[in-house]
Amino acid sequence: MADEAKWYVVHTYSGYEKAVAATIEKAVENRGMQDLILEINIPTEMVTELTDTQQQKTVERKIFPGYVLVKMIMTDDSWHLVRNVRGVTGFVGSANKAIPLSEEEIASLGIERHEIILKYEVGSTVKITDGPLLDFLGTVDDIEADKGRVRVIVSMFGRETPVDLDFDQVQALE
């Protein structure tokens, strides 16, 4: 059932984001709706500001003031619970229909991190499993976890050639 849960954007009065999130969490707990409303998130970032006295101060700032993200399974009960919280003006969407965030939007916001466990590391010998270099063997030269990319050094025509591939295009040799 949790696979049906999607991220929705809830519009709130500006400055009420934390109060709305806390109220939703309390209402979910009181009504036993943890299976419908799974997670609440207020996207923030750490920013370094210069004060009047030229000192640097690191503060947490909301990325989207006036909005709270809620991962939930949309039912009449869950919709009413969130919609009727004091400070909520509605869901982002059209008319009375809330529109969930797409997978691309969720990834770009960095709300959900999907942990990838690699069976290889820098220096490991791997086999390329996709693309024009299918079945070539190479050595892992660099891993860019944030981009999901790996650089493999492949020997072609007597020369070592670096090839950038996605994580799922290589496989560790056993």
Domain that holds residue 81: 2-109
pLDDT tens digits along 53-78:
777 888 888 888 999 999 999 988 99
The number of beta carbons lying within 10 Å of the beta carbon of residue 98 is: 20
Task: For residue 9, report the phi and psi dihedrals to the nearest 5 degrees.
Answer: -105, 125
Whether residues 16 and 102 share a domain: the answer is yes
Q: Kindly state whether residue 129 falls inside one of the protein's structural domains.
A: yes
pLDDT tens digits along 19-36:
999 999 999 999 999 999
Q: Kindly state whether residue 149 falls inside one of the protein's structural domains.
A: yes
| Euclidean distance between CA atoms 2 and 72, whole angstroms | 8
Q: Are 40 and 15 in contact (CB under 8 A)?
A: no
CATH (domain of 136) = 2.30.30.30
pLDDT tens digits along 1-16:
456 889 999 999 989 9
Provide the 3-class DSSP secondary structure of residue 130.
coil
Entry field: residues in the chain: 174
For the chain, what is the domain count?
2
pTM: 0.61
Radius of gyration from C-alpha coordinates of the chain: 23
Q: Kindly state whether residue 118 falls inside one of the protein's structural domains.
A: no
Tell me, what DSSP letter sits at residue 100? P
End-to-end CA distance of the chain: 36
Q: Kindly state whether residue 36 falls inside one of the protein's structural domains.
A: yes
Whether residues 101 and 161 share a domain: the answer is no
Nearest to 142, CA basis, from 118, 107, 108: 118
Q: Kindly state whether residue 43 falls inside one of the protein's structural domains.
A: yes
CATH (domain of 17) = 3.30.70.940
Whether residues 103 and 138 share a domain: the answer is no
Whether residues 103 and 61 share a domain: the answer is yes
Structure tokens at 143: 């891993």
Whether residues 26 and 69 share a domain: the answer is yes
Q: Are 20 and 88 in contact (CB under 8 A)?
A: yes
Q: Kindly state whether residue 139 falls inside one of the protein's structural domains.
A: yes
Q: Kindly state whether residue 63 falls inside one of the protein's structural domains.
A: yes
